Every structure is written in C-alpha cells, then in structure tokens.
C-alpha cells in the first residue's frame, strides 16, 4: 500500500507532485508523446548508457526459447522484443530442412508489444518495418495499444510477461501486477526491469545531483523538454524500494519472487512466477 | 509494408479481448474497429494498430448492437 494513497484516495504521485488519480495516465502520456522519438536517448542519459547492459541482463533472465509467447508491456520502443527475437533466432539449430514440407510443426514463438502510448507504438512498429530483423526462426513482432492495468489479452496465454522501465509510470501497480498474472500460463515468468534505489550514500548523493540538477538541463537542451526529464528523475525516487515491490508481487500471487540489483541499485530486475 | 499499415495481424486477433470485460471482439474490417458487444464499445484500429483503451473507444449505437 502506498502511504500517499492512504492519506488521500484521489491523489497519486506524478513525479514529486500529487495529481488526481484520473489525470496521471494522461500526464504520463503527454511526457512520452513529447519524447517518443527520443526515448532511447532519454534512457541513455538517465542510465549513462548502461540501460543497454541492463536490458541484456534482463533478456538473460528471460531465457528466450523457441515456442515461447512473450507479452512485453509498455515496450513501445521494441528493445525487449527485438532482443528476444534475436536470442530465439540464435538458439535455432542450424539444421537443413528434412523435406520441402516446411519446418517441423510446433508451437510458434510470439512477441507482442502492448504500450499505452499510440505514438510510441507506431514509432516502434515503424522502426521494425524500416529495419527488419529478418531473423530465421524469429516471430514477427505484433503491436497493440493497451493499458498495463487492463491488458487486452486472453487469460493464461503467455509464457512470459515483461515490463521494462514501465511499471513506474503505471497509476495502479496492484492492477498491473494482477493483469500480468492473469495473462500468464501456470509456470509463466513475470520480469520487471525498473530504476531502483541507490543505497551507498556517496553514490546516492552523486546520482541525486546528476538527476535533479544536471539531467533536466540536458533534457532541456537535447529534447527541449525539461519537465519530462524532471518527471523522470522524480518518478524514479517515488518508486518503491525493491523489497517493497517484492512484497507487492507476492501479494499479487507470484511465487519464487526475487530481485537482483544492477549498477549499485540504479536499476533492478524483479522476477516472479505464476506457479 | 502496406499490408502492415492497413490490416490487423490475424494472429493478434486470436488472443485479443476487450480490456474491460475480457470478452470476445468482433473485427469490423470495413470501419477498422474491434467491437466488444458485452461492453458496448468499438475500439479503433489506427495505422494497423488496435487501440484497446476504453477512453479511445466509441460507444455503440443501439442499431449496431448485435442481437443475441
């Protein structure tokens, strides 16, 4: 339970500000629509470029395999699904087809992106069209616009649900966790990648100074959007500590819940299973 | 490439449900909409991407509702 929600039912965090619950997704939408084309750059600046390594570690945890159905929530830029497709393709045996009847029949892999922001989804899809992966054995990426709190997919259909740098922007985390659980098959894996909490005092001080003093200025210069970057930094500080998120995941029904801190806690991977 | 822009991926249709009711959807290809009879809502498909958000959906008129 978030303390601020207990104090006032109708207000939720928007960065360090409190906004009416109904307004948050619209405000977050404005932030992301404004920076849609430059979102990777935003992540680069916020993570010193390290988000690429975090995502690689995240995909390692996901363990992509042929036949796996993945739903990547808030995955508008397509980074996660692309890496997923690359891993699946690389894991294909380099065998020659035994006949001309086509590949052996088995469950096809799927990679579905569901993002609440239409501009981000179009940008991700268009990038996938302009720069096709053309990977042997990899699924075609499917794109849909939807809310993490009300996923538009059938129950018990996914082998994995991922959300990378998205859960922080969700208004009602409890609903988002419940929806991920609903979409997963038994044995399915839920993985969260999110900015987390830096504990080491000196590092925390430097990181604070960077995010609140320097980063918004960079954002103003490069993306011409100081407020979007200020929101980014604030929303990271408002996100629950890893042990709190672990408790929330367990409350949503996930089993074998664990987390792994990355880069001293700047980010974390959270993992849980639908048992 | 044109296909990706105009038509919705049929494989995707198989697993899509109404986000509100989790009920089935009817694909209205002509109007590029996904219709949830249970919710009385039509979700738009723009640029080949279904927009499964209730706030973007259109309420069905009485004559559009499928008779049970």
* Domains present along chain B, CATH in parentheses: 2-61 (2.20.25.10)
The closest of A103, A55, A45, A61 to A81, measured between CA atoms, is A55
Model confidence over B14-65: pLDDT tens digits? Answer: 999 999 999 999 999 999 999 999 999 999 999 999 999 999 999 999 888 8
- Residue B37 has a CB neighbour count (10 Å cut-off) of 19
Interface contact flag, B49 A116, Cβ < 8 Å: no
Which residue does chain B place closest to A120, by CA atoms?
Answer: B49
Which residues contact residue A35 at a Cβ distance below 8 angstroms, ignoring those fewer than 6 apart? A42, A223, A225, A228
Q: Burial of A88 by CB count in 10 Å (0-12 exposed, 13-18 middle, 19+ buried)?
A: buried
Task: Tell me whether A150 touches chain B (CB under 8 Å).
Answer: yes
Helix (H) or strand (E) holding A121: helix A118-130
Task: Tell me whether A17 touches chain B (CB under 8 Å).
Answer: no
Give dist(CA B58, CA B36) in Å, integer: 10
- CB nearest to B17's CB, from A112, A140, A154: A154
| Four-residue CA torsion sign, A198, A201, A206, A210 | positive
In this prediction, residue A101 carries a pLDDT of 54
Q: What is the pLDDT along chain A (275 residues), one digit of tens a residue?
A: 444 444 456 788 888 888 888 877 777 777 766 666 666 677 777 777 888 899 999 999 999 999 999 999 999 889 899 999 999 998 876 655 555 555 555 688 999 999 999 988 998 899 888 877 778 889 999 999 999 999 999 999 999 999 999 999 999 999 999 999 999 999 999 999 999 999 899 999 999 998 888 888 887 887 777 887 788 888 889 999 999 999 999 999 999 999 999 999 999 999 999 99
Give dist(CA A63, CA B68) in Å, integer: 45
Give dist(CA B30, CA B9) in Å, integer: 15
What is the pTM assigned to this prediction? 0.88
Interface contact flag, B1 A145, Cβ < 8 Å: no
Interface contact flag, B16 A145, Cβ < 8 Å: no
Task: Tell me whether A231 touches chain B (CB under 8 Å).
Answer: no
Interface contact flag, A150 B50, Cβ < 8 Å: no
Q: How far apart are the first and last CA of chain B?
A: 38
> Would you give the DSSP letter of residue A168?
G
In this prediction, residue A174 carries a pLDDT of 98
The A residues from 169 to 208 touching B (CB cutoff 8 Å) are none
* Radius of gyration of the CA atoms of chain B, in A: 12
Domains in chain A: ranges and CATH:
22-89+106-273 (3.40.50.150)
The ipTM is: 0.91
In this prediction, residue A45 carries a pLDDT of 76
Interface contact flag, A153 B18, Cβ < 8 Å: no
Residue with tokens 């395999």: A65
In this prediction, residue A152 carries a pLDDT of 98
B interface test, pick of A144, A175, A176, A180 with most B CB neighbours within 10 Å: A144
| CB < 8 Å & 24+ apart, contacts of B28-37 | B33/B58, B34/B8, B35/B60, B35/B64, B35/B66, B37/B65, B37/B66
Q: How far apart are the first and last CA of chain A?
A: 24
């Amino acid at each position: 339970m978030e303390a601020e929600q207990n104090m006032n039912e109708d207000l939720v965090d928007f960065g360090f500000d409190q906004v009416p619950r109904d307004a948050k997704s619209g405000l977050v939408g404005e932030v992301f629509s404004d920076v849609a084309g430059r979102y990777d750059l935003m992540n680069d600046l916020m993570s010193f470029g390290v988000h690429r390594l975090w995502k690689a570690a995240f995909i390692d945890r996901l363990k992509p395999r042929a036949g796996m159905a993945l739903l990547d929530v808030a995955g508008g830029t397509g980074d996660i699904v692309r890496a997923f497709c690359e891993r699946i393709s690389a894991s294909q045996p380099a065998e020659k087809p035994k006949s001309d009847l086509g590949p052996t029949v088995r469950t096809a892999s799927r990679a579905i992106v569901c993002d609440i922001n239409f501009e981000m989804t179009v940008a991700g899809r268009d990038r996938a069209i302009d720069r096709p992966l053309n990977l042997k054995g990899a699924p075609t990426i499917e794109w849909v616009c939807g809310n993490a709190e009300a996923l538009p997919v059938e129950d018990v259909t996914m082998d994995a649900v991922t959300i990378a740098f998205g859960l922080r922007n969700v208004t009602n985390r409890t609903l988002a966790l419940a929806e991920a659980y609903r979409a997963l098959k038994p044995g399915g894996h839920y993985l969260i990648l999110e900015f987390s909490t830096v504990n080491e005092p000196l590092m925390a001080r430097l990181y604070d100074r960077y995010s609140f003093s320097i980063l918004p200025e960079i954002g103003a210069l490069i993306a011409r959007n100081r407020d979007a970057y200020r929101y980014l930094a604030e929303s990271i500080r408002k996100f629950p500590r890893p042990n709190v998120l672990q408790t929330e995941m367990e409350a949503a029904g996930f089993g074998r819940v664990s987390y792994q801190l990355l880069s001293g806690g700047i980010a974390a991977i959270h993992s849980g299973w639908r048992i | 490439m044109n296909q990706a822009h105009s038509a919705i991926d049929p494989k995707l249709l198989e697993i899509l449900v109404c986000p509100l009711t989790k009920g089935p959807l009817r694909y209205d290809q002509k109007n590029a909409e996904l219709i949830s009879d249970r919710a009385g809502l039509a979700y738009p498909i723009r640029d080949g991407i279904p927009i499964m958000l209730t706030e973007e959906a259109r309420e069905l008129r009485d004559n559009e509702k499928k008779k049970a």
